[in-house]
Chain A
Amino acid sequence: MASANCPECEGDVALGDDAMQGEIVSCPDCGVELELVSTSPPKLEPAPEEEEDWGE
């Protein structure tokens, strides 16, 4: 199973064999949400923050 380093805490984040670009995963050490931005090699970045917006 592939893994990648958490960019926040350097923890090891396990990735499923079928992990795909755009996947959102949680770091088991620090709990931060991460986005798998590339699969070869596996690279994680902090997932987008939720912004508030009004309207429809």
Chain B
Amino acid sequence: MDDEAAVDLLIRAVETPSVSGEEQAVAELLVERMRRAGFDRAEVDEAGNAVGHIGDGARRLVLLGHMDTVPGEVPVRREGRLLYGRGSVDAKGPLAAFVAAASRAGARAGWTVTVVGAVEEEAPTSKGARHVAPLWRPEACVIGEPSGSRAVTLGYKGRLLVDYRHAQGTGHSAGPGESAPTVGVAFWNALVAAGEELNAGRERIFDQLTPSLLSIRSGSDGLEEWVELTVSWRTPLWFRREEWEARIRELAGSAELRFYGGEVAVKGGKQNPLVRSFLASIRAEGARPRFKVKTGTSDMNVVGPVWGCPILAYGPGDSSLDHTPTEHIDLDEYLEAVRVLTGVIERLCA
């Protein structure tokens, strides 16, 4: 796949809307382009993922990107070498680069190179990644997320959410008792303080337990008053969910709690053939490689603990543009990422 075809693939993918749950059109586009680009097999699987394979070797490299985007139309347009559009960075740029690089590298003796455009990465379900996780045991995996073409992302924080509800009989606001909203705010302050205790001495945000109050609601029907909070934590590698849930239950007293959305933090090692291949391939572009760790989550959190293989995330684009109304990608950086990835496949699957 030459540069012109690689750019055309990206533009067509960005022009095809694919909000989570509505990825069918872009999946069909990707499958058609993978077949045209020399993939041996390509299809839309039962989950709706676009999946293509080159080669039939026993050793497998999985390039796992995602096709879906968050809502919010960003009109597709070119400004010089910049391509604007929803998903251009997160994460059709990385995914299109996977397809182009796998095509350029071609069949590798003893290996199968598998490219996945997953559905619903932006949704809490992570449906596409959960579907493929039990299917293979790859030797290495690259997650398609924007790291910039000269950097690799080694890890992501995890996540945990809780819904809190406290209810009590109504009282006069001039009386001595605390109102339900006051109890809710005190709970929030207590869990912030509990997290700060655990974070003591940890300087990086990646290493900290970071809470976020997503919503707070209160009400009364004249006989009962209540307060409801939804809290999210970005969790570090050292986080132990069971211990933390027990601590939160202590702080919540008799309130109702519902924990959900748990994703374990994940971080790949550096001393492995996958990282080595990326560093050498980035240096071959005359660039100095960089490592990143990210405070968000990705499909690495889903497949990393299952596959247990060397894993990292890579892709062109500036992740600070993720989900923004000015999302855009530099096509020259995109093409550099295609070259880097081609070099990675050639080095790793030699």
Alpha-carbon separation in the docked complex, A37 to B284 (Å): 10
Smallest CB–CB gap between B329 and chain A, Å?
Answer: 14
From 174 to 194 in chain B, residues with beta carbon under 8 angstroms from any chain A beta carbon are: none
Chain B residues within an 8 Å CB radius of A23:
271, 276
Which residue from chain A places its CB closest to the CB of B154 in the assembled complex?
Answer: A50
Which listed residue, A22, A49, A54, touches B294 by the CB 8 Å rule?
A: A54
Judge whether B276 and A21 touch: CB under 8 Å.
yes
Which listed residue, A22, A24, A37, A50, touches B292 by the CB 8 Å rule?
A: A50
Which residue from chain A places its CB closest to the CB of B282 in the assembled complex?
Answer: A22
Chain A residues within an 8 Å CB radius of B319:
53-56
Residues of A with Cβ closer than 8 Å to B? 20-25, 33, 35, 37, 47-56
Smallest CB–CB gap between B263 and chain A, Å?
Answer: 12
Give 14 A-B contacts (CB < 8 Å), ordered by A residue.
A22-B279, A24-B270, A24-B276, A47-B270, A48-B279, A48-B288, A50-B154, A51-B151, A51-B292, A52-B293, A55-B90, A55-B295, A56-B90, A56-B294
Judge whether B291 and A50 touch: CB under 8 Å.
yes
Alpha-carbon separation in the docked complex, A52 to B290 (Å): 11
B55 within 8 A of A: no
Alpha-carbon separation in the docked complex, A6 to B275 (Å): 20
Alpha-carbon separation in the docked complex, A52 to B289 (Å): 15
Alpha-carbon separation in the docked complex, A47 to B288 (Å): 10
Chain A residues within an 8 Å CB radius of B280:
20-22
Which residue from chain A places its CB closest to the CB of B279 in the assembled complex?
Answer: A22
Smallest CB–CB gap between B267 and chain A, Å?
Answer: 9
Smallest CB–CB gap between A13 and chain B, Å?
Answer: 13
Judge whether A48 and B295 touch: CB under 8 Å.
no
Judge whether A55 and B322 touch: CB under 8 Å.
yes
Judge whether B294 and A48 touch: CB under 8 Å.
no
Which residue from chain A places its CB closest to the CB of B278 in the assembled complex?
Answer: A22
Which residue from chain B places its CB closest to the CB of A54 in the assembled complex?
Answer: B295
Alpha-carbon separation in the docked complex, A1 to B146 (Å): 39
B145, B146, B156, B280 interface centre (most CB from chain A within 10 Å): B280
B247 within 8 A of A: no
From 244 to 288 in chain B, residues with beta carbon under 8 angstroms from any chain A beta carbon are: 270-271, 275-281, 283, 288
B296 within 8 A of A: yes
Residues of B with Cβ closer than 8 Å to A? 90-91, 145-147, 151, 153-154, 156, 204-206, 270-271, 275-281, 283, 288-298, 319-320, 322, 347
Which residue from chain A places its CB closest to the CB of B323 in the assembled complex?
Answer: A55
Chain B residues within an 8 Å CB radius of A54:
294-296, 319-320
Which residue from chain A places its CB closest to the CB of B288 in the assembled complex?
Answer: A48
Alpha-carbon separation in the docked complex, A33 to B155 (Å): 18
Smallest CB–CB gap between A41 and chain B, Å?
Answer: 16
Give 7 closest A-B pairs by Cβ, nearest first: A22-B280, A22-B279, A55-B319, A22-B276, A21-B280, A24-B270, A48-B291
Judge whether A48 and B289 touch: CB under 8 Å.
yes
Chain A residues within an 8 Å CB radius of B151:
51
Which residue from chain B places its CB closest to the CB of A19 in the assembled complex?
Answer: B276
Judge whether A53 and B291 touch: CB under 8 Å.
no
Smallest CB–CB gap between B251 and chain A, Å?
Answer: 27
Judge whether A24 and B271 touch: CB under 8 Å.
yes
Alpha-carbon separation in the docked complex, A23 to B288 (Å): 14
Chain A residues within an 8 Å CB radius of B91:
56
**Contact flag A53-B322 (CB < 8 Å), given A22-B278, A25-B271:** no
Smallest CB–CB gap between B41 and chain A, Å?
Answer: 28
Judge whether A56 and B296 touch: CB under 8 Å.
yes
Which listed residue, A21, A33, A53, touches B153 by the CB 8 Å rule?
A: A53
Which residue from chain A places its CB closest to the CB of B205 in the assembled complex?
Answer: A52
Alpha-carbon separation in the docked complex, A37 to B279 (Å): 9
Judge whether A22 and B322 touch: CB under 8 Å.
no
Alpha-carbon separation in the docked complex, A53 to B270 (Å): 18
